[in-house]
Chains A and B, each alone.
Chain A
Amino acid sequence: MKRRAMFTTASLLAAGVVFSGVAAAQATIKIGVLHSLSGTMAISETTLKDTVLMMIDAQNKKGGVLGKKLEAVVVDPASNWPLFAEKASQLLEKDKVSVVFGCWTSVSRKSVLPVFEKDNGLLFYPVQYEGEESSKNVIYTGAAPNQQAIPAVDYLMKEVGVKRWVLEGTDYVYPRTTNKILEAYLLAKGVKPADISINYTPFGNSDWQTRVAAIKKFGSAGKKTAVVSTINGDANVPFYKELGNQKISAEDIPVVAFSVGEEELSGLDAKPLVGQLAAWNYFESINTPANKAFIDQWHTFIKNPKRTTNDPMEATYIGFNLWVKAVTKAGTTDPAKVIDTLPGIETPNLTGGTAKVLPNHHITKPVYIGEVKADGQFNVVWKSAGEVAGDAWSDYLPGSKNIEADWVTLKCGNYNTVTKVCSGQNFK
């Protein structure tokens, strides 16, 4: 009896493997979607999964790519970083997808990076991040620090006249690196060290009383003070609530955030936030025909006219279109060939400009600064002159100022211009 029971179990398990393996026919092009649908990151990433599905749907209605239909392979890495690596290798090795759209946090990207490099896959990463990376196998369609953080600080310095700075972040790599870059930048602009306060709080920090009181104190020294916030998603709501309760208004101490967008605002009461700033490369409120069409398409797809759009969605949109163009141009979905074709490919973005893939695998993006309105949308108060080219390696960090990424001529993601050595991925 025991033997039989074990055998039954084993055959059940085996059946599961076989069925999942056979499910897809060969006539389609498979696209991997690697976004967390459960766990802490589900709140942000589920939307991007839907965006990719929407783009695939639309592309299929146009006849697919290279005469083949596209098929999404959706997996759930469940906000678990090792699981990201495992799911990435499942997509690349088992499902043999042509391209993957995925990841949100830096650690999830770092986790899948070795897998993509080993299997020579192609990943489109749609979120603003800390830079300091350029992989042959990744196209970064989100903002590098010079496409978001530096312009925002410039705006506050020049247009608002801020003299004193609080760099407030969650203790992980994106805030750490961004703040390092910003600190170096501010010092270079003549800000005194005493006028910069850098602080880190843990993930999901929900009690901001002490920190907000400290910001209030720091801001009462008689100089115009601003907060540059790299606080991570979950901790933002309690942070802004506390700011509102302690009566720190945007006119007194403005807060510019790099990870608060329309979607985050839809999850909280925006009234106490009115006037607070955010820097992004896209806002839903920007009025262009392309954007309007995109928003309509989204509302139809998600069957909810109240859902917002946001910056990472635009980055996903751009990434998808870039991939379609590159595949069409290359005439194949082979990731290695598509990767070689991608630099130089251009596609219109949603705000009236053009996104172009650069040799360093980043793209050109416009920078916007918006003030929060009571309805949770942004009122654009500043716009960069034209698009800014994404810089993989910051010029303001001593470790990376001599490093260059160029996958067209140098064929290297981290070429040291002083020692003339290519380390990292293409190390020989």
Chain B
Amino acid sequence: MRRFSMGGQWPLVLLLAVASVTRIYAQSPKDAAFLSVLGELREASYSDKASIAERLSQTGHSSVRVVLTALLEDRLYYRNSDQKVFVVKTADADPLALIDPLSLKAAGSAPADGMTKIGTNNSLRHTLKMTVAHFSLGSADAAVRLDAVHEMSLSLDEETVALLRKRLAVETNSGVRKEISIALALSTLDGSDSRARLQAVATLSDSVSQDVRNRLALLLDKSPDGTFVESDAKVRQAAAAAVESIDRWRTFYSDIQTLFFGLSLGSVLVLIAIGLAITFGVMGVINMAHGELMMLGAYTTYVVQTAMPEHIGISILVAIPAAFAVSGLMGVLMERTIIRYLYGRPLETLLATFGVSLLLQQLVRSIFTALNRSVITPDWMSGELKLNDALSITYNRLYIVIFTLIVFSAIVAVFKRTRLGLDIRAVSQNRAMAKAMGIRTEWVDAMTFGLGAGIAGVAGVALSQLTNVGPDLGQSYIIDSFMVVVFGGVGNLWGSLIGGMSMGVTNKLLEPWIGAVLAKIFVLVALILFIQVRPRGLFPPRGRAAEDK
């Protein structure tokens, strides 16, 4: 790579700096120095930018933190017309909302093509994070302070330790206090006072952080000359105990995490199976197009997001009813045009719906091309819920577990509490009798199938957050969804819930031991064997209707 040298540009930069000084009359010398250094960022190479950022932070200007954070988050731009640097509110918006880097007040807006982003790369971001951390200690947000302390604890020098000490004296948040004391204890381990070291080990033994564990484990190592790194046997003993305790806790938390992974995989399985549990389980239609109905839901999410680019956060919530409507209507259409001629011939519904699935796949390929569509994960669904240093739960998985439970409860409520649910149950149990009682069985059939299809669409919204949105989305889930329904017992919603969850958990419990492929094979074989023992699934349908299914 050719590195761009700044050497020859100095006079120009000075000129610009002078120009800006003269324009903004009330500028202090501190402001001027800050602006001139800031201006250098425009054209510098990545490695130069790191040193420029360092010099910026040395100016001690009150805007340093905001500006550097903006640089870190790709929100630092300069205006092409007058080369002036601005912070912007959100990156990649159009127009960009500008913020003056000195006063930190809004400074109007500018079209995106008139502004140029000041880019960063990995190593620069790494340096920036450290620099920003020093400033973030004073932030009003405890979470920002916590991150800052954590960042600082990774490379502790005297200056950092002094900063942390100062902060500890005024810090009120207990979480941050704890993190600071851990960082300070880590730095004490390098000290010469063995009693202080012992004390530090005691402090650290409460942590469950992997970094702390690694640091403590280093105390047990031997130097190349055969002596222990840690000279004091007592400290070594304490460190050994602490390492063991941390390991034990970490194993415990990682087991909990595995269980959560299983539940979240299970809830995805349940979600993709509920719709099928209705169309297949209740109506007896082997709906091979179930996967494609999910795919339609996922594409609906994409369309909704494209339609409201300014409100990505709520677009997902809008997409849920939209996907229900799109897939539901497609389901009603399928039922009215094809499936109603095939009742009582389940195997022929398989053939027809397989044909429909090919048609739908090619349809989206024609409309949206074969390329995957990009569905954005809203901010509130990304990231993780950090319970402690050893256990975090990702938000999107957490929401999907909750979402599955909501959808499931809603369906159960529809079946148990509404007139439609009563009709559906009546028709599925005894069609002729239901008809005799005045139920419009044709209408119920269409509604039932529409309901199942709509739920498939809703599942598609969730899948759009987890995987590729492309024409093949349905195919990759269809087999799993049939397995879940059959495992749970055809026609039993609770069976699908328990079946899906137990398949997910089994899979995830096995995966660390035997790998993803063998775990999946194992689950399939277990399913085959299970069906031998319970030929009608976990919760077999009872009564006369069972024989006909």
> Which residues of chain B from 447 to 484 have a CB within 8 Å of any chain A CB?
465-472, 476
Let me know if A263 and B371 touch, CB within 8 A. yes
Chain A residues whose C-beta falls within 8 Å of the C-beta of B508 in the assembled complex: 209-210
Let me know if B1 and A380 touch, CB within 8 A. yes
Let me know if A241 and B466 touch, CB within 8 A. yes
Let me know if B129 and A251 touch, CB within 8 A. yes
Closest beta carbon of chain B to A173's beta carbon, Å: 15
Contact stretch, chosen from A58-66, A211-219, A325-333, A340-348: A211-219
Q: Does A244 contact B (CB under 8 A)?
A: yes
Chain A residues whose C-beta falls within 8 Å of the C-beta of B254 in the assembled complex: 213, 217
Q: Does A246 contact B (CB under 8 A)?
A: yes
- Which of A43, A217, A246 is the most central at the interface, judged by chain B CB atoms within 10 Å of its CB? A43
Contact stretch, chosen from A117-125, A143-151, A367-375: A367-375
Question: Nearest CB to that of A212 among chain B residues?
Answer: B394
Q: Does B409 contact A (CB under 8 A)?
A: no
Chain A residues whose C-beta falls within 8 Å of the C-beta of B371 in the assembled complex: 43, 46-47, 263, 266-267
Question: Nearest CB to that of A252 among chain B residues?
Answer: B126
- Which of B374, B471, B476 is the most central at the interface, judged by chain A CB atoms within 10 Å of its CB? B374
Alpha-carbon distance A237/B268, docked complex (angstroms): 17
Alpha-carbon distance A223/B515, docked complex (angstroms): 25
Let me know if B397 and A209 touch, CB within 8 A. yes
- Which of B257, B466, B469, B476 is the most central at the interface, judged by chain A CB atoms within 10 Å of its CB? B466
Q: Does B173 contact A (CB under 8 A)?
A: no
Q: Does B223 contact A (CB under 8 A)?
A: no
> Given A171-B517, A374-B92, are A272 and B382 also a contact pair (CB < 8 Å)?
yes
Let me know if A38 and B362 touch, CB within 8 A. yes
Let me know if A269 and B257 touch, CB within 8 A. no
Contact of A269 among B264, B374, B466, B471 (CB under 8 A): B374
Let me know if A43 and B370 touch, CB within 8 A. yes
Q: Does B89 contact A (CB under 8 A)?
A: no
Question: Nearest CB to that of B510 among chain A residues?
Answer: A210
Chain B residues whose C-beta falls within 8 Å of the C-beta of A39 in the assembled complex: 472
Q: Does A22 contact B (CB under 8 A)?
A: no
Let me know if A220 and B214 touch, CB within 8 A. yes
> Given A42-B365, A209-B261, A269-B376, are A381 and B1 also a contact pair (CB < 8 Å)?
yes
Contact stretch, chosen from A89-97, A189-197, A198-206, A397-405: A198-206
Chain B residues whose C-beta falls within 8 Å of the C-beta of A110 in the assembled complex: none
Contact of B211 among A217, A220, A371 (CB under 8 A): A220
Chain B 106-146 against A: per-residue CB contact (8 Å), 1 yes, 0 no? 00000000000001011101100100000000000000000
Let me know if B396 and A267 touch, CB within 8 A. no
Chain B residues whose C-beta falls within 8 Å of the C-beta of A43 in the assembled complex: 370-372, 470-472
Question: Nearest CB to that of B511 among chain A residues?
Answer: A210
Main secondary structure on A side of the interface with B: mixed
Alpha-carbon distance A214/B397, docked complex (angstroms): 17
Let me know if A211 and B1 touch, CB within 8 A. no
Alpha-carbon distance A263/B470, docked complex (angstroms): 13
Q: Does B383 contact A (CB under 8 A)?
A: yes
Chain A residues whose C-beta falls within 8 Å of the C-beta of B394 in the assembled complex: 209, 242, 245-246
Q: Does A268 contact B (CB under 8 A)?
A: yes
Alpha-carbon distance A185/B122, docked complex (angstroms): 25
Q: Does B27 contact A (CB under 8 A)?
A: no
Let me know if A251 and B370 touch, CB within 8 A. no
Let me know if A371 and B372 touch, CB within 8 A. no
Q: Does B516 contact A (CB under 8 A)?
A: yes
Chain B 359-388 against A: per-residue CB contact (8 Å), 1 yes, 0 no? 001100100011111111100001110000
Q: Does B265 contact A (CB under 8 A)?
A: yes
Chain B residues whose C-beta falls within 8 Å of the C-beta of A171 in the assembled complex: 517
Tell me how many residues of A have a C-beta within 8 Å of chain B: 59
Question: Nearest CB to that of B394 among chain A residues?
Answer: A245
Chain A residues whose C-beta falls within 8 Å of the C-beta of B123 in the assembled complex: 160
> Which residues of chain A from 215 to 268 have a CB within 8 Å of any chain B CB?
217, 220-222, 234, 237-238, 241-242, 244-247, 250-251, 254, 263-264, 266-268
Alpha-carbon distance A268/B371, docked complex (angstroms): 10
Q: Does A383 contact B (CB under 8 A)?
A: yes
Closest beta carbon of chain B to A308's beta carbon, Å: 10
Chain A residues whose C-beta falls within 8 Å of the C-beta of B79 in the assembled complex: none
Let me know if B210 and A267 touch, CB within 8 A. no
Let me know if A209 and B264 touch, CB within 8 A. yes
Q: Does A416 contact B (CB under 8 A)?
A: no
Contact of A267 among B265, B361, B468 (CB under 8 A): B468
Contact of A245 among B125, B129, B375, B397 (CB under 8 A): B397
Chain A 307-345 against B: per-residue CB contact (8 Å), 1 yes, 0 no? 000000000000000000000000000000000000000
Contact of A373 among B119, B210, B470, B472 (CB under 8 A): B119
> Which residues of chain A from 8 to 46 have a CB within 8 Å of any chain B CB?
37-40, 42-43, 46
Chain A residues whose C-beta falls within 8 Å of the C-beta of B97 in the assembled complex: none
Let me know if A202 and B516 touch, CB within 8 A. yes
Alpha-carbon distance A263/B374, docked complex (angstroms): 11
Question: Nearest CB to that of B369 among chain A residues?
Answer: A46
Q: Does A274 contact B (CB under 8 A)?
A: yes
Alpha-carbon distance A222/B361, docked complex (angstroms): 47
Closest beta carbon of chain B to A33's beta carbon, Å: 15
Alpha-carbon distance A207/B347, docked complex (angstroms): 32
Let me know if A42 and B370 touch, CB within 8 A. yes
Let me know if B470 and A274 touch, CB within 8 A. no
Let me know if B265 and A207 touch, CB within 8 A. yes
Contact of A375 among B92, B122, B466 (CB under 8 A): B92
Contact of B373 among A37, A46, A209, A267 (CB under 8 A): A267
Let me know if A200 and B382 touch, CB within 8 A. no
Alpha-carbon distance A270/B268, docked complex (angstroms): 24
Q: Does A301 contact B (CB under 8 A)?
A: no
Chain A residues whose C-beta falls within 8 Å of the C-beta of B472 in the assembled complex: 39-40, 43, 234
Question: Nearest CB to that of A42 among chain B residues?
Answer: B370
Closest beta carbon of chain B to A158's beta carbon, Å: 13
Closest beta carbon of chain A to B190's beta carbon, Å: 15
Closest beta carbon of chain B to A73's beta carbon, Å: 20
Let me know if A238 and B466 touch, CB within 8 A. yes
Let me know if B468 and A234 touch, CB within 8 A. yes
Chain A 46-68 against B: per-residue CB contact (8 Å), 1 yes, 0 no? 11000000000000000000000
Chain B residues whose C-beta falls within 8 Å of the C-beta of A169 in the assembled complex: none
Alpha-carbon distance A26/B472, docked complex (angstroms): 39
Chain A residues whose C-beta falls within 8 Å of the C-beta of B396 in the assembled complex: 241, 245
Contact of B515 among A200, A244, A379 (CB under 8 A): A200
Q: Does A102 contact B (CB under 8 A)?
A: no
Q: Does B258 contact A (CB under 8 A)?
A: yes
Contact of A210 among B1, B210, B261, B374 (CB under 8 A): B261
Q: Does A294 contact B (CB under 8 A)?
A: no
> Given A272-B377, A371-B122, are A246 and B91 also a contact pair (CB < 8 Å)?
no
Contact of B467 among A220, A221, A222, A237 (CB under 8 A): A237
Q: Does A413 contact B (CB under 8 A)?
A: no
Let me know if B467 and A238 touch, CB within 8 A. yes
Given A38-B370, A199-B515, A251-B126, 14 more pairs with CB closer than 8 A: A38-B362, A42-B365, A160-B123, A201-B515, A202-B516, A202-B517, A202-B520, A204-B476, A234-B476, A246-B392, A268-B375, A272-B377, A272-B382, A381-B122
The 9 closest A-B pairs by CB, nearest first: A267-B372, A245-B394, A42-B370, A220-B210, A209-B261, A269-B376, A222-B214, A251-B126, A206-B467
Contacts from B to A (Cβ < 8 Å): 1, 74, 91-92, 119, 121-123, 125-126, 129, 210-211, 214, 254, 257-258, 261, 264-265, 268, 361-362, 365, 369-377, 382-384, 392, 394-397, 465-472, 476, 508, 511-512, 515-517, 520
A-B contact pairs, 28 of them (CB 8 A): A38-B362, A42-B365, A43-B470, A160-B122, A160-B123, A205-B516, A206-B466, A206-B467, A209-B508, A210-B512, A213-B261, A220-B210, A238-B467, A241-B465, A245-B396, A246-B384, A251-B125, A264-B372, A266-B374, A267-B470, A268-B468, A272-B377, A274-B74, A275-B121, A275-B122, A371-B121, A381-B121, A383-B1
